[in-house]
Structure 1
Amino acid sequence: MNRKRKFILTASFLIGFVGISVAQQGQVRIEQDEIIPELLEKKTEMVKEGRLGDRYRIQLFSGDNNEASKVIKEYRSLYAQWPSTIVYETPNYKVWIGNFRNSLEADRALMEIKKSFPAAFRFKPERK
Structure 2
Amino acid sequence: MFKKKSLILASALVIGAVTSSTAQQGQVSIIQDEAIPELLEKKTEMVKDGIIGDRYRIQLFSGDNNQASKVIKDYRSQYPDWPSTIVFETPNYKVWVGNFRNSLEADRALLEIKKTFPSAFRFKPEKR
- The TM-score by the shorter chain falls in which range? 0.7 to 0.9
Aligned partner of 1:120: which letter? Answer: A
> Shift of residue 5 of structure 1?
7.6
Q: How far is 1:99 from its partner?
A: 0.8
Greater mean alpha carbon deviation, residues 99-108 or residues 13-22: 13-22
Q: Deviations over 1:8-29 (max 9, x none)?
A: 7666544433322211111111
- Which stretches of structure 1, 4 residues or longer, exceed 2 Å deviation after superposition? 1-19
One-letter code aligned to 2:124:
K
SS across alignment from 1:69: helix
Q: Which residue of 2 aligns with 1:52?
A: 52
Aligned residues, how many?
A: 128
- CA distance, structure 2, for counterparts of residue 3 and residue 113 of structure 1: 88
* Structural mapping, 1:1-128, within 5 Å: 12-128=12-128
Structure 1 gap segments, 5+ residues each: none
| TM-score, normalising length: structure 1 | 0.87
Which residue identity is paired with 1:54? D
Q: Residue 4 and residue 65 in structure 1: after superposition, are their counterparts in 2 closer, same or farther (change >3 A)?
A: farther
Identify if the C-alpha distance between structure 1 residues 44 and 10 changes in structure 2 by more than 3 Å, giving closer, same or farther.
same
